[in-house]
Structure 1
């Protein structure tokens, strides 16, 4: 009888030592206060995001239907003409399959987000759910790869916006020849716009994201309706039943598996809601609902966009050879027959991608802030500092995220291929964090170990969905390192993301043994088991 009493006294002492802000019900709900107390975290941010505003945040961060149009340009840059042909011919069915599979992955993460609604996201879940002997190392690895991946994501969003602006200049001024240094300057300008919104405009960021949700949906119809209403279409048989193996692979199936990577790219990001969890009202319920809603909303809009785009490509050679760098600009122009109409439709995409960059920067800064708060980064007291600029924001983490993105953008001056290899780290890094975090909770379920309570659950389907998610992630992870074309492999069409990924993981492992293992304990040590 004496032992339970001593445990009870220890819990009471821990509870009374909680910071006052962590139990302030005016800034969140009772569930928010309970979650922060269990996680051992101090409430440092205002919980200004609610369901619709955080849905706007994740929907524009994910930017699925926008990425449908843009990814054709990525295919052209990364893999040449052959990959773009494969992409377009297999786009419809690979998109449909990816939506279903990625829904399982996000459901698995939404389950964990309800158990532990914290800005740390995946690295926190690994720390809490991994086997005790592996908690520190795996959590540290996921923290670094995820943090660096999000920084690259900020640069990637600004790159797309900047080069699309150059594409419109090419369309309107035939004498204009885009250069990499001009594109880099435009990238830096976009990055500063994203930073201003996240600092000076931070107080109004939830309202801004709510407005962007409207633009995300209205912009979709503003582009899709003209594409269906104006211009010729290819036969349905071409869109749904004809496949072309333009990459030199042994079968159409192999070509489609490679082509699906562009679709996967358009689904990265709904876990951004988890990294904003400490700024979301009633987070343990709202965050998982938003993650699932984002996949459903963007999946439906994205599928319609894929079908529409494939129907409207009546002159594939012209789209492939466009001097704008983006086949969708050529398709818009061929459909409308108007440069003004093409500009308006393209500007909608550019604005939404800039908004994607705003959400990417916010997510990257929160990820860095949380990892520093748990002593995962060098000089943690600097990067975990919160400053009030209208509302509380991790200003130093925002500024270092801006600085890293600017440095990455400078690589584009020397080599676009090198820049794209670094930007592609976002996909590999995110899938690493997905795989390890879901794998850890799967192991706990297989061992039938207790899990924290959650307000959103997959119920009896949790175990099979976790298993399916891990298998799918492993498949995509391996495929992401394949070259885009089997024919004529050379340094120009080689997929260098594997080398970049190996460098980042190697850096994380070395840093752990040099620095991390001495200072990093992982957030699990602060969790209260009462």
Structure 2
């Protein structure tokens, strides 16, 4: 019998004055005694679609003193959650569609080496969050981890600073809409890419995604399997076409040509700004964590799926960046001035010299983006549901409701869709404002990573015990957390910079203003109302199990 790591008594989490006290009873002393085993063992007979494994039941029992009842179906396994996260991350697709930005800031060499540095830095971040996900596998993710690991005085207010998924959905939908507009432009030379068309397409994609998150939710795993195969197939299709048919530049030029096209006066600064694309493309390490309550044996499977997804996503992202920079051919000006609206579509046309070929490649990439949106709806709504379940939002009782028979947070899904539709309307008034709101996703998620990783690093520095873990980083945990924080804080800082120096109002990066405005509103809400009705997840966990 192959045994997975068991919960150990010496791993008891006793926070004292710095936090709540947890006391883990010895194995065999409680109702939830167990030995957690590999898939295929006799443990499978104990699994149910709703309750999950005994490990899942034990995790929910620990976090279930008052509120957390298992209401969602645990349909996901390792392969399905891996496919889900890979498609949601879409790292190589995002790197392809936004590669013009690092080309402007750092050049091809800056883009490639910047991506390598980002992948290394994000790996440390992912490992730290995977460890926390194993300690507390809950749909709340970062805000829950902060509540359990921060000093008592900061547990509640910091929870309001770690939510970042809501703005990602409308931005991703808009990118997919631009791909559809590009296909129209390929086949109609008179098409002028009107903004209102992009708005309607964005809304259509968002509304379409609700179908898979409501009526077809039971079929979502089936579609995830198909899309996982398609995801890998499209990557190789695009890569092979570009490498075989594209006009490849010499390797020395591709890897070591650093430029400051935007005019910063410093290649280093330009490269750091350009690396923001790779950082955004590799975001989402926490995405699977928000489906922890829909995953079988979450404390074991979740962190490992996060690690495997990161390895695959980062690798494909780097390979696509190298491919793009090797076959870009045209100058930056020519790519920016493409009649198709998207530089990557122009590169497809340059390589294939065929409308049919360009249509096919663009359509496949757009399909992947649309399914990424579908998965983003799932992740975003689960985080909204979890925070509302803990009383952290206005209308929490409405947002956390799970309709019997549906086994999904339908209200949270609907509100998530409605929010994205309303935000997309901003495109009509000011595309710049919309882009800045979309950038909030990257800044918000980076902030959430920084805060929760800082909390667990603080506990390790203080020598405070941590929760039992089936994915422990051991002695390397503190070093990994500190390296992750160093990387995340530098990238977070450069995310507030504009894409070129001395911009006018339209070209200014107003993310800094919007970000701190949202943070200010969140804390005002917390002090006025949230402080009274939000106790934080840590108050609902059992102190002794």
TM-score by length of 1: 0.91
Q: Distance in 1 between matches of 2:99 and 2:316?
A: 17
CA offset at residue 211 of structure 1?
1.8
Whether the 8 Å contact between 1:318 and 1:330 is mirrored in structure 2 is: no
Verify: 1:434 aligned to 2:463, yes or no: no
Q: Which residue of 1 aligns with 2:339?
A: 323
Cα deviation, 1:431-479, whole Å, max 9, x if unaligned, reads 1111110111110001111111111111221010011111111111111
Verify: 1:499 aligned to 2:519, yes or no: no
Verify: 1:526 aligned to 2:540, yes or no: yes
Q: Following superposition of structure 1 onto structure 2, how do residues 187-206 of structure 1 map, counting pairs within 5 Å? A: 187-206=202-221
Q: Which residue of 2 aligns with 1:366?
A: 382
Q: 1:29 aligns with which of 30, 33, 53?
A: 53
Q: Following superposition of structure 1 onto structure 2, how do residues 69-148 of structure 1 map, counting pairs within 5 Å? A: 69-72=96-99, 75=101, 84=104, 86=106, 88-142=108-162, 146=163
Q: Which residue of 2 aligns with 1:243?
A: 258
Whether the 8 Å contact between 1:136 and 1:520 is mirrored in structure 2 is: yes
Partner SS for 2:99: helix
CA offset at residue 35 of structure 1?
0.5
Whether the 8 Å contact between 2:52 and 2:297 is mirrored in structure 1 is: yes
CA offset at residue 485 of structure 1?
1.2
Whether the 8 Å contact between 1:121 and 1:274 is mirrored in structure 2 is: yes
> Aligned pair count?
500
Cα deviation, 1:28-52, whole Å, max 9, x if unaligned, reads 1111011110111211111100111
Q: Following superposition of structure 1 onto structure 2, how do residues 501-520 of structure 1 map, counting pairs within 5 Å? A: 501-520=515-534
Whether the 8 Å contact between 1:83 and 1:485 is mirrored in structure 2 is: no
Higher helix share: 1
Partner SS for 1:371: helix
Q: Distance in 2 between matches of 1:86 and 1:326?
A: 20
Verify: 1:52 aligned to 2:52, yes or no: no
Verify: 1:263 aligned to 2:278, yes or no: yes
Q: Which residue of 1 aligns with 2:463?
A: 448
CA-based RMSD? 1.9
Gap change, CA 1:387 and 1:470, over 3 Å in 2: same
Whether the 8 Å contact between 2:106 and 2:268 is mirrored in structure 1 is: no
Whether the 8 Å contact between 1:157 and 1:357 is mirrored in structure 2 is: yes
Q: 1:383 aligns with which of 389, 399, 418?
A: 399
Whether the 8 Å contact between 2:72 and 2:407 is mirrored in structure 1 is: yes
CA offset at residue 241 of structure 1?
0.9
Gap change, CA 1:87 and 1:204, over 3 Å in 2: farther
Cα deviation, 1:184-220, whole Å, max 9, x if unaligned, reads 0001110111100110110111222122111111110
Whether the 8 Å contact between 2:144 and 2:538 is mirrored in structure 1 is: yes
CA offset at residue 247 of structure 1?
2.2
Verify: 1:299 aligned to 2:314, yes or no: yes
Q: Distance in 1 between matches of 2:266 and 2:97?
A: 26
Q: Distance in 1 between matches of 2:200 and 2:321?
A: 31
Q: Distance in 1 between matches of 2:105 and 2:436?
A: 21
Whether the 8 Å contact between 1:87 and 1:260 is mirrored in structure 2 is: no
CA offset at residue 400 of structure 1?
0.3
Partner SS for 1:444: helix
CA offset at residue 174 of structure 1?
0.7
Q: Distance in 2 between matches of 1:483 and 1:96?
A: 22
Q: Which residue of 1 aligns with 2:503?
A: 489
Whether the 8 Å contact between 1:442 and 1:466 is mirrored in structure 2 is: yes
Q: Distance in 1 between matches of 2:268 and 2:235?
A: 30
Name whichever of 189-198 and 318-327 sits farther off.
318-327
Q: Distance in 1 between matches of 2:247 and 2:340?
A: 22
Q: Which residue of 1 aligns with 2:299?
A: 284
Partner SS for 1:459: coil
Q: Which residue of 1 aligns with 2:89?
A: 62
Gap change, CA 1:330 and 1:403, over 3 Å in 2: same
Cα deviation, 1:488-526, whole Å, max 9, x if unaligned, reads 332122111101101100110110111111111000011
Q: Distance in 2 between matches of 1:381 and 1:462?
A: 38
Gaps of 5+ in 1: 1-6, 18-23, 76-81
Q: Which residue of 1 aligns with 2:35?
A: none
Q: Distance in 2 between matches of 1:478 and 1:514?
A: 30
CA offset at residue 291 of structure 1?
0.9
Runs of 4+ in 1 over 3 A off after TM superposition: 85-89
Whether the 8 Å contact between 2:432 and 2:507 is mirrored in structure 1 is: no
Q: Distance in 1 between matches of 2:347 and 2:174?
A: 21
